Amino acid sequence: MPTRRSEAVPIPLLQRVYAAADAYFLSDDIRRLSANELAYTRIGVIGCIAVGLAGIAFIPWQLFHWPAHVLIAMMASGLFCVALPFLLRRRDGIRHLGHFVCGQVSVYALAVIVLSGGRATGILPVLPMIPMLALLMRGGRAVISWGLVTVGVIAVGALLVNREVPALIEGFRELRHEERYPIALICLIAMLGVSFLFERLWNRSALELAERARADLALREDRYRTLLEHASEGILVLDARGRIQFASPAVERLIGLDPGSAVGRTLVSLTDERGLEETVPMWNRALSRPGERVRVELRATVRPLPDGSPPPRLEITITNHLDHPAVRGVVVHLHDVTALARAKTNYQNLVERSLQGFIVVREFRVVYANQAMADLFGVSTDHFVGRHVNEMLDWVEPDDRDRVVEALNAPVLAPMDPLELRIRRADGARRWIQIRWSDAVSEGLTARQIVYADITAQKELDASRRVEQERLEARIAERTRELEASQQTLRAQERLAAVGTLAAGVAHQINNPVGAILAAADFALIAAGDPDRDRIAATALEEIKAQAIRCGRIIRGILQFSRAESTEKWSGDVISVLRTAVDVTRRHAREQGAEVSLELDRGVAAASVLMSPIELEQVFVNLILNAIQAQSAGAKVWITARNLGHELEICVEDDGPGIPTDDRDRIFDPFFTTRLKGGGTGLGLSVAHGIIEDHGGRMELVPARRRPGVGACFQIVLPVEKSELGIPTGLEA
């Protein structure tokens, strides 16, 4: 696959100059070894010479202004050599430039002492810098060598002073400025000579390193070659045309060729016709799929060996590495699996000594049976071999024969469960056996291997366990009846606990008719002096009576619900119940910053439902409160109602976190709640679910509709009443 082109990174000018110097000064013989060290050395020599030339040429002038200019010149040149590797982000170069920095300081000091006749004693404070620089840039060993150099410089100065050698500076004063350069040139030539000798020495050491690297590489190659020559698995490398480019000695041993004679041959020349039929498709597949391994096991694919021994059984793995730059060929691994064939023989011996009966069926006839099979039926092995499987049905009990025939007529490759049946041995004894079979290959043909196990003892044990299980089941049934009685008591307690949950709705339901009664009474009292007071009083009394009947219904519904009785229901519209539920929860929604919206379909008003308003109101109040409390603040609750014809659908949906998948199957269970810390009792949804079922409807948790995957959506479906039912009047105790 083409890779994305990397972005160009700008290279600093100084680094480009240094790279060019690397390319120019680097020796071709060691271009791939110790490149950095040699480049640092050569560029360091040139840098020191270039910087030191100006100082040497003007040393006579500098002596008049000692020691400032000499010290400045030495520090400037040393700083250049030290800072160069840092500028190039190659800090390891300091080690290789250290000798040149120390040498430059030594040359300056020696030149000043010689030219001044040993009288430039001001240079002495600078001399300790030489071993100090050596310590910083080359380590402890360099301190000794450069310390000796420093002692030598001091000794030369002391010798000149003791012999009172006249200062050469007097002669330099008489020279003109342009006459000083030949002297500087002589110094330069001397330094170049020393540099040349040093580089010859360095090149020799670098070449020795390269030679050692080549020797190490040759040693590794020899090690790998030795491992390859003594490997038991043969390895071939072929080109795309199938011609051998490399063959390990193991390949030649497996195929029976003379050592070194495999290279140049083609893969076709090493296989027979049967081997070609199996190898060519695998070869083409490997060429079409670079990097994929193709494995095939061949039987007698190589030509007979020269010593007359039978050819081995080989497992061949072909891998296409034509695109690999280090291989550029197809790698073929040859693995001798003759030992595996012997292992199969051992497996056959193991089957023969198995305690379970074992037969092989090919074309509905038995071709093999072990001794355990003969012992199971009380006959010899010869009694099975050659028989048709239908003849073996004579041993099977008549009731089990149909199942055996059905299993035998099934497709060969169809997996079958173990089959248990009863047989009658040759001596008349009855036994239980279990039959298992699987696909097999016998002499290149599809066959079935069938295993028979005697399970008579297991069946007898199962019978005894069955008796014990019946006793246990009787005890469990008795205990279950006790638990059911306890459950009935618990359900009654749940009913009473739910009455407390209904309190808010009951208060709201009663408060409305009581308010209407008070309003009607006040209106009648106000109209006491009105000429039309009789009509007004009659109207007020009718209103008071109607509201009192409504209060009676509410109270009667609570009593019936608490007693677990079927509540009284009458035809009515759900719209008023939904609006009342929204009004009851309005204050709580306002405190929580929630928004509750009611969306009614046009056909909802025409739908009449046989219901208990107080119970349905409690259902909707519970769902609205749950939706509001599902979030800390700012919840949105949508209540929608649709007339579906024979049914009325009400959905209460929110935008909260929703209900976890693991809890969806338990949300209507009594006392199950996800708000233990929030005061949840686990009764709300359970009671609501029971109310809806008592109304002949259904209540389900369905996927969110407005925002899929967000929030919870409860769907309530109630049957629509087709005929008006009589509404009872009066109160019941």
Length of the chain: 733
- Give CA angle at 544 (541, 547), nearest 5°: 150
What pLDDT is stored for residue 251 in this prediction? Answer: 79
What pLDDT is stored for residue 544 in this prediction? Answer: 82
CA dihedral 348, 353, 356, 362 (to 10 degrees): 30
Which residues are within 8 A (CB) of 66 and not within 5 positions of it... i.e. 6 or more apart? 112, 120, 122
Q: Which helix (H) or strand (E) covers residue 162, if one does? A: helix 140-163
- Are 505 and 618 contacting, i.e. CB atoms less than 8 angstroms apart? yes
What pLDDT is stored for residue 47 in this prediction? Answer: 56
Please list the residues that pair with 238 across neighbouring strands.
244, 330
Instruction: Show the tokens assigned to 224.
Output: 């790998």
Instruction: Show the tokens assigned to 554.
Output: 């509410």
Domains of the chain: 13-205 (no CATH), 231-341 (3.30.450.20), 354-454 (3.30.450.20), 569-733 (3.30.565.10)
Q: Rounded distance, CA 522 to CA 525, Å?
A: 5
Phi, psi dihedral angles at 512 (to 5 degrees): -65, -50
Q: Rounded distance, CA 36 to CA 92, Å?
A: 9
What pLDDT is stored for residue 32 in this prediction? Answer: 40
Task: Establish how many alpha carbons lie within 13 A of residue 277's alpha carbon, considering only the half-sphere containing its beta carbon.
Answer: 4
pLDDT along the chain (733 residues), means of 10: 40 53 45 47 56 51 48 55 48 53 65 59 65 62 66 66 51 51 53 53 59 79 77 81 83 75 77 70 78 63 57 78 78 79 77 80 85 85 83 84 78 66 85 82 74 85 87 88 74 58 59 75 78 79 80 72 66 85 83 89 84 83 87 89 91 89 80 60 74 90 86 92 47 32
What pLDDT is stored for residue 242 in this prediction? Answer: 81
Instruction: Show the tokens assigned to 170.
Output: 């007097």
Please list the residues that pair with 656 across neighbouring strands.
none
At residue 373, what is the residue type? Answer: M
Q: Rounded distance, CA 242 to CA 675, Å?
A: 73
- Are 701 and 665 contacting, i.e. CB atoms less than 8 angstroms apart? no
Q: Where are the beta strands (DSSP E) in 275-383?
A: 293-298, 314-321, 329-336, 357-362, 365-369
What pLDDT is stored for residue 713 in this prediction? Answer: 93
Please list the residues that pair with 302 across neighbouring strands.
271
- In the numeric block, the tokens 């840098």 are attached to 47
At residue 569, what is the residue type? Answer: K
Q: 421: closest CA among 406, 437, 401? A: 401
Please list the residues that pair with 430 across neighbouring strands.
424
